[in-house]
Amino acid sequence: MVVRNDVNHIDMLNATYDNYDGVIVEVREDMDENVFIALLQTSISQWRQQGKKGVWLKLPINLANLVKPAVTEGFWYHHAEPTYLMLVYWIPKTKHTLPSNASHRVGVAAFVLNSDGKILVVQEKSGVFKGTGVWKLPTGSVEEGEDICTAAIREVKEEVGINTEFVEVLAFRQSHMSFFSKSDLMFVCMLKPTSFDIEKQDSEILEAKWMPIEEYSNQSFVKNRKSFEYIAKICTEKKDNKYVGFTALPTRTATSVTNSYLYSHHQEQLSDSRIQNP
């Protein structure tokens, strides 16, 4: 963890540099808190001379004893995951330009329509609609690193055991303040079922069934909430082939090691066949 700077003979924290004049330090071994403070001070002094700006300090949870010393030296929290805490420090006297933390949870709601015009609905065992008798679309969270189209298929399989294929994003909703001040993005995905026998998951789902779309739309919980009512209307239009959403095109980004998806309207109408058939 500690490297000797051969020119100046100073012990510094081991660091890598990013493209934004930033320094990234990942502490892996425990050390005495006073040694840690001394290393932080020396390192920041050196980085200041080198014109560095932001310092990222990643502390694994087993080194929680080093959080307090880092905060005392002027670091603040950037984000945390179950196994680590990321702290940051800004060397210049200017306002920091560090990128913000992840700000949104992303969810999916699945509109699964069968050839009889019935849609897949569930009653949940917990949450806002617990005990209300409300039939709702299967919903769930998009996991870290998971594609929206994949998440919708996975949630339906997990909750009700139905196999599906992704068709379109029909709409999406952005809302705020729903969970510890974070924002939510909910993507309503149309899926085509390829199996029909429901096997519900007992821990989360109280009941699941195929229901005529009109019966779903006529529930008071749908009619009394503008966004639910509007989504039900879109689903009905889609059933009648009067609506077009965004389809998913696999692409690869410059900075991503995995494929990404571009969601847009009607790529089959665009002329470049290389793009249509990657």
Q: Which residues are catalytic?
A: 158
Stretch of residues binding a second copy (CB under 8 A), selected from 3-11, 43-51, 155-163, 223-231: 223-231
Please, which residues have CB within 8 angstroms of residue 229's CB and are 6 or more apart in sequence? Answer: 217, 222, 223
Cα angle for residues 104, 235, 200 (degrees, 5° grid): 75
Q: What is the dihedral of CA 183, 188, 189, 193, to 10 degrees?
A: 130
Does residue 130 bind a second copy (CB under 8 A)? Answer: yes
92 versus 212: smaller Cβ distance to a second copy: 92
For a second copy, the binding residue among 197, 254, 268, 277 (CB under 8 A) is 254
10-13 and 16-17 beta bridge pairing: unpaired
Q: How far is the CB of 163 from a second copy (least distance, A)?
A: 23
| Region of 74 on the Ramachandran plot (φ > 0 left; ψ -120 to 50 alpha; else beta) | left
Does residue 48 bind a second copy (CB under 8 A)? Answer: no
- What is the residue-wise DSSP string for 15-65? -EE-TTS-EEEE--S---HHHHHHHHHHHHHHHHHTT--EEEEEEEGGGGG
> Looking only at residues 50 through 89 of this chain, which bind a second copy when binding is defined by CB under 8 A?
61-62, 64-65, 67-68, 70-72, 76-86
Instruction: Count residues binding a second copy (CB under 8 A).
Output: 97
For a second copy, the binding residue among 101, 114, 163, 195 (CB under 8 A) is 101
Stretch of residues binding a second copy (CB under 8 A), selected from 153-161, 191-199, 207-215, 219-227: 219-227
Stretch of residues binding a second copy (CB under 8 A), selected from 7-15, 115-123, 159-167, 243-251: 243-251
